[in-house]
Amino acid sequence: MLSEFILVGFSTFPQHLLPAFFLFYLLMYLFTLLGNLLIMATIWSERSLHTPMYLFLCALSTSEILFTVAVTPRMLVDMLSSHRSITFVACATQMFFSFTFGFTHSFLLMIMGYDRYVAICHPLRYNVLMSIRTCARLVSWTWAGGSVMGMMVTLIVFHLTFCGSNVIHHFLCHVFSLLKLACGNENSSVTLGVILVCVSALMGCLFLIILSYIFIVAAILRIPSVEGRHKTFSTCVSHLTIVIVHYSFASIIYLKPKGPHSMDSNTLMATTYTVFTPFLSPIIFSLRNKELKNAIKKSFQRKFSPLRS
Give the model's pLDDT for residue 305. 64
Q: What is the 3-state secondary structure (H, E, C) of the chain?
A: CCCEEEECCCCCCCHHHHHHHHHHHHHHHHHHHHHHHHHHHHHHHCHHHCCHHHHHHHHHHHHHHHHHHHHHHHHHHHHCCCCCEEEHHHHHHHHHHHHHHHHHHHHHHHHHHHHHHHHHHCHHHHHHHCCHHHHHHHHHHHHHHHHHHHHHHHHHHHCCECCCCCEECCCCCCHHHHHCCCECCCHHHHHHHHHHHHHHHHHHHHHHHHHHHHHHHHHHHCCCCHHHHHHHHHCCHHHHHHHHHHHHHHHHHHHCCCCCCHHHHHHHHHHHHHHHHHHHHHHHHHHHCHHHHHHHHHHHHHHHCCCCC
Strands 85-87 and 4-7: antiparallel
Q: How many residues does the chain have?
A: 309
Give the model's pLDDT for residue 277. 82
State how far the Cα of 144 lies from the Cα of 138, in Å rounded to an integer. Answer: 10
Give the model's pLDDT for residue 253. 65
State how far the Cα of 253 lies from the Cα of 132, in Å rounded to an integer. Answer: 37
Give the model's pLDDT for residue 278. 85
Give the residue among 260, 307, 303, 252 at the shortest CA–CA distance from 276: 252
pLDDT tens-digit profile, the chain (309 residues): 566 788 777 776 777 878 888 898 899 999 999 999 999 998 888 888 888 888 999 999 999 999 999 989 988 888 887 777 888 888 899 999 999 999 999 999 999 999 999 999 999 999 999 998 999 999 999 999 999 999 999 998 888 887 777 888 777 888 888 888 887 777 778 888 888 888 899 899 999 999 999 999 999 999 889 888 998 888 888 899 889 988 887 777 666 555 544 555 566 667 777 888 888 888 887 777 778 888 888 877 777 665 554
Give the model's pLDDT for residue 106. 92
Point out which residues pair with 235 in neighbouring strands: none
Give the model's pLDDT for residue 48. 84
Sign for the pseudo-dihedral over CA of 18, 23, 27, 33: positive
Phi, psi of 6, deg, nearest 5: -110, 120
The two most distant CA atoms of the chain are separated, in Å, by: 78
Give the model's pLDDT for residue 66. 93
Q: Residue 288 carries which side chain, given as an amino acid letter?
A: R
Going by C-beta distance under 8 Å and a sequence separation of 6 or more, which residues neighbour residue 21? 13, 79, 271
Point out which residues pair with 167 in neighbouring strands: 6
CA angle 27, 239, 113 (to 5 degrees): 140
